[in-house]
Structure 1
Amino acid sequence: MTKRRGERPPAPETLPAPVVDAHTHLDACGATTPDDVKAIVDRAALAGVDRVITVADDLDSARWAAEAATWDDRVFAAVALHPTRTSTFGQAEQDVLAALAEHPRVVAIGETGLDYYWDYAPRSAQHEAFRWHIDLAKRVGKALMIHDRDAHDDILKVLDAEGAPDTVVFHCFSGDLSFARACVERGFVLSFAGTTTFRNAHALREAARWAPEDHVLVETDAPFLTPHPYRGRPNEPYCVNYTLRDLATLRDADVGELAAKITRNAERVFRLSDVAES
């Protein structure tokens, strides 16, 4: 049987309650125009995913995300310089991001953090940029969205040393139960992506099963990390439906109740009602 690696997964049955995709990359999914964005979020809405947060990883992406969030009321944005892109991070880059962070439809500063898997940027540069983004999140009063790859201990050390913002989200949470406990003890939120559905991700699934429901979000990180059983195929926000259903099974929870709870979490974390009223 062909794996159909180039095809998007089939449209799932609509969720019994809507949920928010807390982290996606609409530009990397191929969107460039308002019509492109509408088509993606329309597909998401049919699956019960009624809002998405499109996340930047460089300056061009940050500018685009902030603009795209004005094209459709179902789209919000997060802006930052990805840690792997911090080799050059000076006043010019900081000025652009600081201005974008004030945009009313930018609901988070991210994704920022540390990435020890790739060597595209020196660790010293990553740490400096991470500290700057932490300060920016505190200055604008918005959530900090963490990218953490192979850097669990140092992420916590930096957050502890700098003083974490009021709201911290670990995007695509990748830690084990012990790390999940350390994050939750600090009040941080864990956002689970398609990796949580991978059957060989035993430690991650244990953490997802344990995580207190007030500290849980779901995301796609589309077009990456497509959930089981469609791993390797293109991901889109509608596929958070699959992750949510798998998470409900893992946690022995009702799908609709879990979706409703996670939506309330997203509304609280990203202050989405404040955006709607602005």
Structure 2
Amino acid sequence: MSKRNGERPPVPELLPAPVVDAHTHLDACGAKTAEDVRELVDRAASVGVARVVTVADDLASARWVARASTWDDRVFGAVALHPTRTSEFSDADRAELAELAAQPRIVAIGETGLDYYWDYAPHDAQQDAFRWHIELSKRVGKPLMIHDRDAHEDILRILTEQGAPSTVVFHCFSGDADFARRCVDAGYVLSFAGTVTFRNAAALREAAALVPLDQLLVETDAPFLTPHPFRGRPNEPYCAAYTLRDLAALRGMAVVDLANAVNGTADRVFQLRQVTEQPGSLR
């Protein structure tokens, strides 16, 4: 399908039950102000994507995410230094990230991990930073949100060597069925983005079909990875509805049942209800 000169995909029909976009980048979608954030989450809510986790990839983004998560009660945050940005990672950087990670509406440490596709950061620097983020996740008691690109074996090895946090989420899961089974057996949660809808992604679709519902999340990774048939056009949190429907068809499930399942998984994994109900919350 044509990219339509950067035009967003059409807004789909309302889902029969609300879901969470488990990983998006509102700042990369163009949001700067509270009004910008509200516009994006209003559009998502109009199709049943009722809450979002907006994720940082560097320190400037982490500062913004921490602020943005306080602007709207449908928005939660995750902070970390992306593996491609770890060639320089100072003690001051680590101290600031740790402080941001402790904020109540930050619900995960991410995205962190390893990226061997790009050569922006040496593998040893990435691995050192990944180990530090693992320890931060355990220290603050929040899930570890993993970026894994062409690094499956090292990701699993380091999680084993370091001792995995109680909750680990593989953001934009990219492995095959065998790797999915290994992650599921380890108790990890697998989050699927628009890539799972691509018709040339047979191995990934096979993986998505076997993940237990209590270890399954749906995300956009917006503004990237727009689902089929709008691949190449700008992505937004509302497009999680397309991925959810495609996954339901793939798994032979009613859309409402899958929506309820992944919404429940997101609530449990990120403890969203506890965050919302704590003193000083936005509600």
Q: Give the match for residue 61 of structure 1.
A: 61
1:107 aligns with 2:96: no
Between the aligned partners of 1:97 and 1:263, the Cα distance in structure 2 is: 28
1:146 aligns with 2:154: no
Query: Secondary structure of 1:12's match?
Result: coil
TM-score, with normalisation over the residues of structure 2? 0.97
Between the aligned partners of 2:98 and 2:214, the Cα distance in structure 1 is: 30
Q: Give the match for residue 217 of structure 1.
A: 217
Q: How does 1:195-214 map to 2 (within 5 A)?
A: 195-214=195-214
Deviation, 1:2, is 4.9
TM-score, with normalisation over the residues of structure 1? 0.99
1:44 aligns with 2:39: no
Residues 8 and 176 (structure 1 numbering): CA distance in 2 closer, same or farther, change over 3 Å? same
Deviation, 1:100, is 0.3
Q: Cα RMSD (Å) of the superposition? A: 0.7
Between the aligned partners of 1:226 and 1:91, the Cα distance in structure 2 is: 36
Matched AA of 2:185: E
1:13 aligns with 2:13: yes
Q: Give the match for residue 131 of structure 1.
A: 131
Partner deviation per Cα, 1:12-31 (whole Å, 9 max, x = no partner): 00000000000000000000
Query: Secondary structure of 1:139's match?
Result: helix
Between the aligned partners of 1:3 and 1:223, the Cα distance in structure 2 is: 14
Matched AA of 1:125: A
Deviation, 1:93, is 0.6
Matched AA of 2:73: D
Query: Secondary structure of 1:249's match?
Result: helix
Between the aligned partners of 2:253 and 2:137, the Cα distance in structure 1 is: 33
Q: Give the match for residue 77 of structure 2.
A: 77
Between the aligned partners of 2:47 and 2:40, the Cα distance in structure 1 is: 11
Between the aligned partners of 1:268 and 1:2, the Cα distance in structure 2 is: 38
Is the contact between residue 18 and residue 48 of structure 1 (CA under 8 Å) also seen in structure 2? yes
Is the contact between residue 3 and residue 231 of structure 2 (CA under 8 Å) also seen in structure 1? no
Q: Give the match for residue 238 of structure 1.
A: 238
Deviation, 1:72, is 0.1
Deviation, 1:274, is 1.1
Partner deviation per Cα, 1:90-125 (whole Å, 9 max, x = no partner): 201100100001000000000000000000000000
Q: Give the match for residue 257 of structure 2.
A: 257
Equivalenced residues, count: 278
Q: Give the match for residue 186 of structure 1.
A: 186
Is the contact between residue 5 and residue 234 of structure 1 (CA under 8 Å) also seen in structure 2? no
Matched AA of 1:276: T
Query: Secondary structure of 1:146's match?
Result: strand
Unaligned runs of 5+ in 1: none
Partner deviation per Cα, 1:227-255 (whole Å, 9 max, x = no partner): 00000000000000000000000000010
**Off by >4 Å, runs of 4+ in structure 1:** none
Between the aligned partners of 1:185 and 1:144, the Cα distance in structure 2 is: 17
Between the aligned partners of 2:138 and 2:2, the Cα distance in structure 1 is: 49
Is the contact between residue 114 and residue 147 of structure 1 (CA under 8 Å) also seen in structure 2? yes
Partner deviation per Cα, 1:148-199 (whole Å, 9 max, x = no partner): 0000000000000000000000000000000000101110000000000000
Between the aligned partners of 1:121 and 1:246, the Cα distance in structure 2 is: 35
Residues 111 and 2 (structure 1 numbering): CA distance in 2 closer, same or farther, change over 3 Å? closer
Between the aligned partners of 2:254 and 2:91, the Cα distance in structure 1 is: 48
Matched AA of 1:252: G
Deviation, 1:5, is 3.9
Deviation, 1:132, is 0.1
Unaligned runs of 5+ in 2: 279-283
Report which stretch shifted further, 131-140 or 208-217.
208-217
Between the aligned partners of 1:67 and 1:247, the Cα distance in structure 2 is: 33
Query: Secondary structure of 1:13's match?
Result: coil
Matched AA of 1:273: R
Is the contact between residue 5 and residue 232 of structure 1 (CA under 8 Å) also seen in structure 2? no
Q: Give the match for residue 281 of structure 2.
A: none
